[in-house]
Structures are given as C-alpha cells and as structure tokens.
A and B are shown apart, each in its own frame.
Chain A
Amino acid sequence: MTESLLEIKDILIEADIEGEWKPIVNSLSMTLKRGEVIGLIGESGAGKSTFGLCALGYTKPGCRIVSGSIKLDGQELVGQPEAELRNIRGNKVAYVAQSAAASFNPAHTLLDQFSEAPIQHGKMVASEASVRGREIFAQLDLPEPDTIGERYPHQVSGGQLQRAMTAMALGSNPDIIIFDEPTTALDVTTQIEVLSAIKEAVKSRNVAAIYITHDLAVVAQMADRIMVLRYGDLVEEGDAREMLANPKQEYTQKLLAVRSLRDNKIIDDAQNTILEIHDVTARYPGTNIDVLSNISIKLEKGKTVAVVGESGSGKSTLARVITGLLPPSKGTVSFRGEVLPASLKEKSRDNLRSIQMIYQMADVAMNPRQRIREIIGRPVEFYLGKTGAENEARVLELMKQIEIPENFIDRFPGQLSGGEKQRICIARALAAEPELIICDEVTSALDQLVAEGILDLLQNLQNELNVSYLFITHDLATVKAIADEIVVMYQGKIVEQGPKAQILEPPYEDYTELLLSSVPEMDPDWLDDLVERRKRGEAPTSETLGQR
C-alpha cells in the first residue's frame, strides 16, 4: 500500500481579486497514497478548499490554475479539456461539501441524486444504483435505509443529510473523496455521529481522502497526515499524531493552544439585577408549538450569562423576546426592575437604547452602502442627539475602543475583514451606551484566532464599561471563555442553570454531559474511545436522552 494515487506538484492557483490576478495557493505539493487520509487545516483564506478542490481538476469561478501538475493514477489533470475532467469528477474523485442542506438539489429525491453520478458515468443502470444506494445508506446508519432515498432533502435532518452526501460520494466507488468541512455546520452532538460514520466508511473501503477543516480537534480524529496552511503557503506538514504531540511551528502551536478559562468572578450578594426574564413562554404567530416554555433568567449588572444550546433549542427566540421582536404569550421581561412593554412598537426610545444586539453575520447586519462613519454615527445621533463634530469625535472614540484605526472611518464594510466587521458591529451597539448587549453567536462565523480576539475585546469592554452580556452560543469553548453564569437549553426548556463552576464540574446533568463530551478533543483516539464508551452505555447519547 505505498503506491501513490494522487501527486500534486508545485501547484499555483490565482484568483481574480478586484480585477487583479493574485496567488491564493502558492506552489503547494501533496502526495496521497491509497487508503490514506490527509487533513488540510487552516483559517479562512488559507487556500485549503481551493487546494483540495484542485484534486478534481476544478477551480471555483474566478480562479485559475497557473502552473504545476496534478497526477491522478498517472494521468495528468492540468490542461485537460472539461469533457475529460468530467469523467473523473464524481467517478474517480468525489466531493462532500460543507453544507449538505445547500448542496443537495431541493427538487430531487435523495436516491435520484445518489444514483445520478454512477448512472451518468455509465457504471450502473438505475436498478443497480438504487440497490447500492440502500446498501450504503444502511452502512452509514441512516434510519429506514430502504425508503429514506424516496425523501426530499428538506424532509431529513441536517446530520442525516450530511451522511447522505457522504453516501452519494461513495456511490460510484471513488478512489479519493474530498471532504470540505463536512461537519462545520452541524451541532456538536450531531457532528459526532457524522464523524464516526465518515471515519468508518473511509476505513472499511480503504478509500483515500483529503479532509479539509479549520478545526484541529476534528482533523485529529480523521487524518493520518496533516498539512497546516496559511495564506496559501504550507506552514507545517507531518504525521498527525506526531504533529499534535509536538508542533514545530509557532502558528500550529497557537492553533493547538486551548483557550484559557476566565477567572470565576465572585457573584456578590448585593442584588443589582438588570434583566429579569420571568416565566416566559412564546410561540411564533400562526403556530401552536411553544418555542420557549417557562423560561426564567436573571442577569446582574456587569456580568455575563451564556445561553447555550443546539439549533432548535430556542436560544435565538429568547433574544427576539427580550428585544420585543416576538411578544411572549406568557410571562414578563423586566429591565432595571420595570416590566418592559411586550412589543417593539410600544417601547420607548430609552428602552431601545439600553438593550442592544450584535448578530452572528456581521456581513449582513450592516448596510453595505454605508461608510463606517454612518454605521456608527447613526445610533450616536439617534439615541444621544449628537451631530456634526461632536458625532465624529464620539465615532472616533468608539473606534479606538474597538481597536480599529481611525483612518478606517470612510471605508465601506466590504473593505474590512470578518473580524473587523464584527468589531464595527460591537461599536455600533456601544454607540447607544447600552446597559445590556445581547450577543447572538457573535464568534461562530469567525476563525478561531480572530474569535479569541473578539472575546478578549468584549471582556475588556465589560471591565471598562460595566455592561452586561447575554451571550447566546452553541460553542462550549466560548462559554468556558466568557460566562459567569450558564443557562443550558434544550427544545425550548431550561435544562440546567447556575454559576459556571457548578455547571461545568461533575456531577453533570445528562444533557450537559452529552454536550460537553461531544466537543472534539485533540487526542487522536478521542472519537474511537467515545464511540466505544457510548456503545457500552457509559456515556449518554442523544438516543438515551430522547428516552427520558
């Protein structure tokens, strides 16, 4: 098994960035043997997806392969006509995309989409393909493998869809599968199921794989070898276990560094409650399902409460209730001891000013046709009535607080990086001089190191301004880093709440333990061990939880 299947040599890929061709993959090379899994790791902009995709002879629109060679089983791919490359794609080399929900065609059934590649490549007829489809669906632990293929993509869950996509990649028996962040969009508990299904499928077939991810702990479970990329260059390459135990480059060490725990603040007895949610139940208009049931949360001045839960737990709905976007059907929200009007329309300008919000997608939360000056200056004028030179002075002061250079004031959001955009959103929230900021998954769309910078900034701002945070997140690492108190939510109900130390130390509540145990660890044996322990019933699984 030493025969090399894929040999990429000195590949140079350029992208058209505002009319100029700039290199995004800088003369990278890779050798992939049969049955080997290589992990490509790096932050956004590292070129890892572009590099991975070139194994299919494919570049995204607006990119081009300039030079280098890609040899698949001895056949050169660079410079081949499209028709020749189509014979390879979905046939010898298959692809699994990040978002299965977006990458499955909503108009066709799962089995139709599974069968398409094998049939179009002339490998199978329809009846053979559907038999094979059922076989592989069963192997990937999909429920009702005989009939699930007749469903449409929106009729199955996210985790099932991602497994169906892996099944689709396996359909025509490829030599290589490229996994492009296949679990990034999933909840932690679902991620485990998909990871173990992928690992099992890859190992049992001895198929080679390129596994692209930003999460070192995930790649630790999957890869034999790891390549760390940054800005299109190779930082470090080596055996997975060795690299994790002994990273040579500083950048790799930084990626590996576990986030530090925040010191536990002493919750003083002096009651200084700023926000009190009392027995809130809410449902969306026109539905009869309670998205939130009997939620009660208290938040002290200058403290951070983290609301943690998976998708569908109702945590974002909670934010909508507090801001007044969704009036609750029962219960009240009080601010500084006064009950807030339930709906947005009835709120006074001071109500609006004192509770601000920061969103997950900084990109879409800002008007792309406004300059930073207007984005931050608008709330300064609206809430505080400052105009002209006074307004500009305040904007500059805010920009200093969020550590953005003053000369950015006339830029548009499109000219900023992801982390910078989120900082502008923070400044916009601060401009109103609020007492409470609701942070809805503010670091989820950011790279690890950038996200840490944002969390640091939020922490410093809290120390300086004594503002309170309600931190909504699915990411337990973020919770550990920033929370004073934790509220764990599951299906619209509070499972557990209390000071951080109490929640994160044993004895655990079952669901909390499931969440905590599902967060990938750097140990390469972590996944196998966990799956073993769960099989033996020593660790909770989503199924045992469902039986409660």
Chain B
Amino acid sequence: MILKRVGLGLFTLLAISLLITVGVEMLSGDVCTAILGQMASEETVAACHKKLDLDRPMFVRYVEWLFNFLQGDMGNSLANERTVLELISARIGNTLYLAALSSLVAIPLGISLGVVAALYRNTGFDRGISVTTLSTISVPDFFVAYILMALFAVKFQIFPAISNVSSGMGFWERFYVSGLPVLTLTLISIAHMMRMTRASIVNLLASPYIEMAKLKGIKPGRIIVKHALPNAWAPIIQVVILNIAFMVVGVVIIEVVFVYPGLGALMVDSVQLRNMPVVQATAMIFAAAYVLLNLLADVLSIIANPRLRHRR
C-alpha cells in the first residue's frame, strides 16, 4: 500500500520533470538569447550554444539530465559557473524557514478559529470569521501581498517592504524582516483550515455520542474540544498538510513580491533566463515536497483513527 503510493509519487516526479522540460523549451528564446540579448549576432549565439551543449536535440539533453540527476548530479547553472547544488543549498533554508514560520502561525490559528466558529455556529461571530477569511483567499496572492505592503510598510511602516534576509542576521531580526511574507501566507491559507475544522466538527454534532455527552450535562465548549474534535482530525489533517505544501510551493509569487531570497525567487529568475538545470532542480524539490507531504497526510489520517490505532 505504502509502496504503491511511493511508486506513484516517483512516477509523478518523472512526469513533472518531462513537463517542465517541454514547457521551458516551448518558451521563446533560450539561455543564450536571454544572456546575450536580442541584438546578438547569429554567430555569437551559435558559439554560446556550442559552449553550453545546447546544440543537441531537447530529448537527448533530457535523458542525459535525468541520468545525471538519478546519480545525484544536478549539473551546473547555465548562467554562471556555479553548481546547481550550491545555488539551491544557499536558498532552500530560507524557503523552509518561511514555510515553517507561516505554518506555526497559520495552523494553530486556523484550527482554533474553526473550533470557536463551530462553538458559536450561525452567530454573527461565526459569519464574521468566515467572511473575513474567505475574502482573503478570494483575491490573488500577490494582491494580498501588495495590500499588506501598502498598509504595514508604506502607511504605518511597521515592517520592511523588502524581506531581504541574509545569513548574518540574528533570530529576531530575521523574524522581523520576514513579518510581511509570513502574514501574507497566513492570510491566504487560513480560511481552508478554519472552514474545514468548522465543517468537520459541525458535521459530527448530530452524532449520537454528542447527544449522549449533552445528556451527561457536559458543557458546550468541552463537547466540541473533547468529543467532536478528536473524531474530526482526519479531514482536518488533509487540509493542514495541503496548506503546508502550499506554503512550501506557493511561496513562488510571495518571494518575488517581497524580494525574499528563497527557492521560489530563484526559480522565477531561472525561468526568465531559461536556465534549465536550475528550473528543473527547483521544480523537482517543490514536486517532491508536495508528494511527500500528501503521503504524510494519508499516514497521519490513519494514525488519527482510534479504530486503527487500537486494534481489537
């Protein structure tokens, strides 16, 4: 079962790598025209192609890349002489930091708002939470980012508009500089978790064991937290993990907006330069994160089920 899922995951990665190759090839121009500019003579471009091994057919280059990649060699960047590994390792920590910090803020907040909304369901408070969180996910990510920037960086000047973290920064400084990206990621993911928590709990409130708890004279708050929530975990976990995956992967745009030196920004830069090895490697990392997190979600859902945890 697990093996089958892992196999499917690997197949997904393979398919994605092929899609990325075809996709980037289909864009106009390549790394040489991007570097040398529109005005470059045909001879210079041809020489550049020769130098970077781009004169061979796409399929041959793909197979070669795949062969090297499977052996752990991600190749060199086409734009400069650095290895892809070097470029990525400088950035991946930043992206994971951003995702982890956003998850730490968004997950507890999303779930507890969901619990409170379920407790005060169909009141003004419940509707207020729903309307607010749904509004923030209904507008595009970059729009939320710019609004927050306009408010907190330009108007009130609480946070810096550019989140240019560097390795020399201390913990608090880094935390402070990442403020706006974290806030943006929280706002665009919290609604899913809040709505799913609320829906799963409300769904369970009609169960006989909830009625039993009421007839035992248990207070409403305790009924929600102690009797409904433990049985609602499976769907909540799915959404939470999907959102973590989103925070790792969906940061692409957010990183660009806030000039945050993460993998997403690297990927966007590399696509602009048609820097295939870097695009391919970052795409593989994002895809692998997605596949692994989804696998984790399924495993956790099984663990959350008391019937499966405590066998007869």
User: Chain A residues in contact with chain B, CB under 8 A?
Assistant: 53, 56, 58, 60-61, 85-91, 94-95, 97, 99, 102-108, 116-117, 120-121, 151-152, 154-155, 168
B231 at the interface (CB under 8 A from A): yes
Contacts of A85 in B (CB 8 A): 217
Given A106-B231, A107-B230, A107-B231; A155-B310 close (CB under 8 Å): yes
CA distance A155 to B216 in the complex (A): 23
7 A-B pairs whose Cβ atoms sit less than 8 Å apart in the complex: A87-B217, A90-B217, A102-B208, A103-B208, A117-B217, A120-B217, A120-B222
Q: Are B312's CB and A154's CB within 8 A?
A: yes
Q: Are B215's CB and A99's CB within 8 A?
A: no
- Given A58-B214, A95-B212, 18 more A-B residue pairs with CB atoms under 8 Å apart are A56-B215, A85-B217, A87-B217, A90-B215, A90-B218, A94-B215, A97-B212, A99-B208, A103-B208, A103-B212, A106-B231, A106-B306, A107-B230, A116-B213, A151-B310, A152-B310, A155-B310, A168-B216
Residue among B209, B214, B217 making CB contact with A105, cutoff 8 Å = B209
B51 at the interface (CB under 8 A from A): no
Q: Quick one: CB contact mask for B227-239 with A, threshold 8 Å, 1 for yes?
A: 1001100000000
B211 at the interface (CB under 8 A from A): yes
Contacts of A103 in B (CB 8 A): 208-209, 211-212
Contacts of B209 in A (CB 8 A): 102-106
Contacts of A88 in B (CB 8 A): 217
Distance from B308 Cβ to chain A, minimum over Cβ atoms (Å): 10
Given A103-B209, A105-B227; A155-B312 close (CB under 8 Å): yes
B219 at the interface (CB under 8 A from A): yes
Q: Are B215's CB and A58's CB within 8 A?
A: yes
Q: Are A86's CB and B218's CB within 8 A?
A: yes
Contacts of B56 in A (CB 8 A): none
Closest 5 CB pairs of A and B: A90-B216, A89-B217, A107-B230, A90-B217, A102-B208
Distance from A296 Cβ to chain B, minimum over Cβ atoms (Å): 32
CA distance A297 to B223 in the complex (A): 51
CA distance A500 to B213 in the complex (A): 46
Contacts of B230 in A (CB 8 A): 105, 107-108
Name the CB-closest residue of B to A95: B215
CA distance A103 to B212 in the complex (A): 6
Contacts of B208 in A (CB 8 A): 97, 99, 102-103
B4 at the interface (CB under 8 A from A): no
Distance from A98 Cβ to chain B, minimum over Cβ atoms (Å): 8
CA distance A102 to B231 in the complex (A): 13
Number of B positions contacting A (CB below 8 A): 22
CA distance A99 to B207 in the complex (A): 11
Name the CB-closest residue of A to B310: A152
Contacts of B212 in A (CB 8 A): 95, 97, 103-105
Q: Are A89's CB and B310's CB within 8 A?
A: no
Q: Quick one: CB contact mask for B300-312 with A, threshold 8 Å, 1 for yes?
A: 0000001100101
Contacts of B310 in A (CB 8 A): 151-152, 154-155
Q: Are B219's CB and A86's CB within 8 A?
A: yes
CA distance A461 to B117 in the complex (A): 55
Contacts of B227 in A (CB 8 A): 105, 107
Given A103-B208, A107-B306; A120-B218 close (CB under 8 Å): yes
Q: Quick one: CB contact mask for B109-151 with A, threshold 8 Å, 1 for yes?
A: 0000000000000000000000000000000000000000000
Name the CB-closest residue of A to B231: A107
Name the CB-closest residue of B to A85: B217
Distance from A517 Cβ to chain B, minimum over Cβ atoms (Å): 30
Name the CB-closest residue of A to B229: A107
Given A103-B209, A107-B306; A89-B222 close (CB under 8 Å): no
Contacts of B214 in A (CB 8 A): 58, 89
Q: Are A105's CB and B219's CB within 8 A?
A: no
Distance from B306 Cβ to chain A, minimum over Cβ atoms (Å): 5
Contacts of B211 in A (CB 8 A): 60, 97, 103
CA distance A152 to B311 in the complex (A): 9
Q: Are A116's CB and B231's CB within 8 A?
A: no
Contacts of A152 in B (CB 8 A): 306-307, 310
CA distance A102 to B211 in the complex (A): 10
Distance from B229 Cβ to chain A, minimum over Cβ atoms (Å): 9
Residues 271-312 (chain B) with a chain A CB within 8 angstroms? 306-307, 310, 312
Distance from B51 Cβ to chain A, minimum over Cβ atoms (Å): 59
Contacts of A99 in B (CB 8 A): 208
Contacts of A107 in B (CB 8 A): 227, 230-231, 306
CA distance A151 to B215 in the complex (A): 23
Distance from A161 Cβ to chain B, minimum over Cβ atoms (Å): 12
CA distance A282 to B131 in the complex (A): 55
CA distance A58 to B212 in the complex (A): 11
Contacts of A168 in B (CB 8 A): 216
Residue among A60, A86, A104, A106 making CB contact with B217, cutoff 8 Å = A86
Contacts of A94 in B (CB 8 A): 215-216
CA distance A120 to B222 in the complex (A): 10
Contacts of A121 in B (CB 8 A): 217
Contacts of A53 in B (CB 8 A): 215
Distance from B49 Cβ to chain A, minimum over Cβ atoms (Å): 57
Given A95-B215, A104-B209, A121-B217; A154-B222 close (CB under 8 Å): no
CA distance A205 to B31 in the complex (A): 88
Distance from B110 Cβ to chain A, minimum over Cβ atoms (Å): 21
Residue among B217, B218, B307 making CB contact with A154, cutoff 8 Å = B307
Distance from B205 Cβ to chain A, minimum over Cβ atoms (Å): 9
CA distance A241 to B112 in the complex (A): 56
Distance from A114 Cβ to chain B, minimum over Cβ atoms (Å): 10
CA distance A90 to B218 in the complex (A): 8
Given A97-B208, A108-B230; A117-B312 close (CB under 8 Å): no
Name the CB-closest residue of B to A90: B216
CA distance A103 to B213 in the complex (A): 9
CA distance A94 to B213 in the complex (A): 11
Name the CB-closest residue of A to B227: A105
Contacts of B219 in A (CB 8 A): 86, 120
Contacts of B215 in A (CB 8 A): 53, 56, 58, 89-90, 94-95
CA distance A99 to B211 in the complex (A): 12
Q: Are A106's CB and B222's CB within 8 A?
A: no
CA distance A105 to B226 in the complex (A): 10
CA distance A116 to B215 in the complex (A): 12
Distance from B220 Cβ to chain A, minimum over Cβ atoms (Å): 8
Q: Are A117's CB and B216's CB within 8 A?
A: yes
Most buried by A among B206, B208, B217, B306: B217
Distance from B71 Cβ to chain A, minimum over Cβ atoms (Å): 39
Q: Are B217's CB and A102's CB within 8 A?
A: no
Q: Are A105's CB and B307's CB within 8 A?
A: no
Name the CB-closest residue of B to A61: B206
Residues 190-219 (chain B) with a chain A CB within 8 angstroms? 206-209, 211-219
Distance from B91 Cβ to chain A, minimum over Cβ atoms (Å): 42
Residue among A90, A91, A105, A151 making CB contact with B231, cutoff 8 Å = A105
CA distance A256 to B87 in the complex (A): 86
CA distance A89 to B307 in the complex (A): 29
CA distance A106 to B38 in the complex (A): 68
Most buried by B among A95, A106, A155: A106
CA distance A2 to B217 in the complex (A): 28
CA distance A168 to B215 in the complex (A): 12
Distance from B299 Cβ to chain A, minimum over Cβ atoms (Å): 18
Distance from A112 Cβ to chain B, minimum over Cβ atoms (Å): 9
Distance from B32 Cβ to chain A, minimum over Cβ atoms (Å): 58
Distance from A291 Cβ to chain B, minimum over Cβ atoms (Å): 17
CA distance A182 to B208 in the complex (A): 14
